[in-house]
Amino acid sequence: MRRYQHIVIIALSCLIMTACNKKIEELQANPNQPGSVTADLLLGAVLTDMSGTQDNGALEGYGPWDAVARWNQYFCRNYEYYGDNQYGWSSGSFDSYIVLKNVVQMEKEAATRGADSINPYESIGKFIRAYYYYNMTSLMGDIPLDGAIQGTGNLTPAYAAQKDVFNFVLNTLDTVNNHLTQLINKGDNTISGSSQDIYYKGDLAQWRKLANSFRLRVLISLSNKVSDNELNVASQFATIINNPSTYPVFTSVDDDFKFTYVATYNVYPQSPNNFGSDAQRYNMANTYVHNLTDLNDARVFITCEPAWNVIATKGYSAVDFRSFIGASTGESIANMYSDAIAGNLSLINRKRYYDTYTGEPDVLVGYKEMCFNIAEAINRGWISGDAETWYKTGITESMKFYGITAAQTSYTAYFLKFGSSLGDYTAYPFTFDLNAYLAQSSVKYAGADAGLKQILTQKYLAMFQNSGWEAYFNYRRTGVPVFDQGTGIGNNGVIPKRWGYPSTEQNLNATNWKAALSNQGLSSDDINGSMWLIK
């Protein structure tokens, strides 16, 4: 009998402990924090991360007027307190995998709530994977693929060879097009959480165009691998261009994958708020400025200010191309600052970029770039077509972005004189004939190698403050335009060819990190080493 009493006591004790533990768990639960998040809310968070407005540490997570634009040599910082112009790329970031883990969770939440295996969240999730993997591999070389987004299921993911990553990206983008086609054909044209889609408002037809246009970017980046029979770069490019009903691409700037700043809740990086602290701390880079002034290109009047001391000493007009002077990115920051405050360098156009709280949209993947990519493919003989037409379309669309059209020859530039206060702008009328600009020998499409250089130069100019890393990627791939080097960029005055892997990989994933370096022929994590993509 006593034994049964012990059993009862033990059983009662277990029940009491279970009840207590349950009570403790209930007390620990935060009623204001949901246990799960719907797929549409996760989509909104991921798409915002892609915009570059969230500082999540991801290397591709930058917006306009940030570090990537400096490394693209569009502008310089001339005051060391606010940063420098060095290419200190010894330790990159794998924080993009954090975003991709949210993509995985988004896909799971959609499936949990009854979505078919092919659904809008799954398709867009695949595009986001391709977008991030393309950027990461282009920056570093070999990278982990989906093994790195398994959370605690795989803390030491293996690295995939860069060629395999590119194959994965291209195949994934093809799948995105196929899946979106199926959804659209059965009438599933929008995302249920369309309000969370800050780019296309849930329009799957637009996402389909984006996937194919982005695929053209990826293929152009592989121009050095055109002879690789496994990749079939030229053939893939031709398949997209020659089958527009199967592979629709952008047809105008209205299709751009762009982030639009709204003054009420996401202010443009430059605004009246930070005018006093940094408006004179930014001056324009020589690489950008001289490629405009050498072509007598009026876009310099819109994005830059003249060097006011040059005007005073030389007697030039404020809308004379000789009045615009960029600083070499490789110049010492001390010399650059002295020249900037003396009025010997062109500053950022403070009227355009500081006058309001709503700035120009940040185009992540755009029609203008696509026009130049198609022109380049024709020039290289990958596809048939009129390279000059696509080239001119890219130029004219870029000019339109700044309000310059062929139908108008009289314009007005607005500059803030050096030392003046915000709002004290002066109007400077100028004339510019776009048709005459396109007809001049330095711009008129020349074909062959000279024509290719023209395409690449104009693509660089059109990518000002947009398209993320593409300006640098194109320079590294082709050498056009020539980037400035020197002590100011660090790295012994040499533009690096890649980012080093995150320093944490040496401790947390050393075996796979070492294998990745060895597989690429690198004896160390050398930022000057050549990855497969550019060999």
Alpha-carbon radius of gyration of the chain? 26
- Percent helix / strand / coil, the chain, rounded to 5: 50, 5, 40
Say if CB 128 and CB 101 are below 8 A apart: no
The per-residue pLDDT for range 47-67, each reduced to its tens digit, is 999 987 655 444 555 689 999
pLDDT of residue 7: 43
Of 216, 129, 209, the C-alpha closest to 177 is 209
Of 351, 349, 359, the C-alpha closest to 300 is 349
* Lowest model confidence (mean pLDDT) among 305-309, 358-362, 373-377, 471-475: 358-362
pLDDT of residue 76: 97
Sequence-ordered list of residues with C-beta below 8 angstroms from that of 204, at least 6 positions apart, any chain: 120, 123, 180, 183, 184, 188, 189, 190, 191
pLDDT band at 133; cut points 50, 70, 90: very high
| Tokens 């634009």 found at | 69
The per-residue pLDDT for range 377-430, each reduced to its tens digit, is 999 999 999 999 999 999 999 999 999 999 999 999 999 998 788 999 999 999
Q: How far apart are alpha carbons 314 and 115 in whole angstroms?
A: 69
Average pLDDT rounded to a whole number, residues 91-102: 94
Say if CB 484 and CB 290 are below 8 A apart: no
CA distances from 290 to 52, 259, 300, 386, 462 (A): 28, 28, 9, 28, 14
Q: Structure tokens of 143?
A: 């990278």
Kindly state the percentage of the chain with pLDDT values over 90. Answer: 83
Say if CB 142 and CB 130 are below 8 A apart: no
pLDDT of residue 8: 42
**Helix 39-51 vs helix 96-112: angle between axes, to the nearest 10 degrees?**
160
Buried b (16+ CB within 10 A) or exposed e, 252-264: ebebbbbbebeee
pLDDT of residue 189: 76
pLDDT of residue 32: 52
Render 480-523 in DSSP notation, one character per residue: -SPPP-SGGG-GGG---SSPPPPTHHHHHSHHHHHHHHHHTT-S
Average pLDDT rounded to a whole number, residues 158-173: 98
Burial class of 365 by CB neighbour count within 10 A (0 to 12, 13 to 18, 19+): buried
pLDDT value at 185 more than 70: yes
Q: Name residue 414's beta-bridge partners.
A: 427
- CA angle at residue 3 from 2 to 7, to 5 degrees? 115
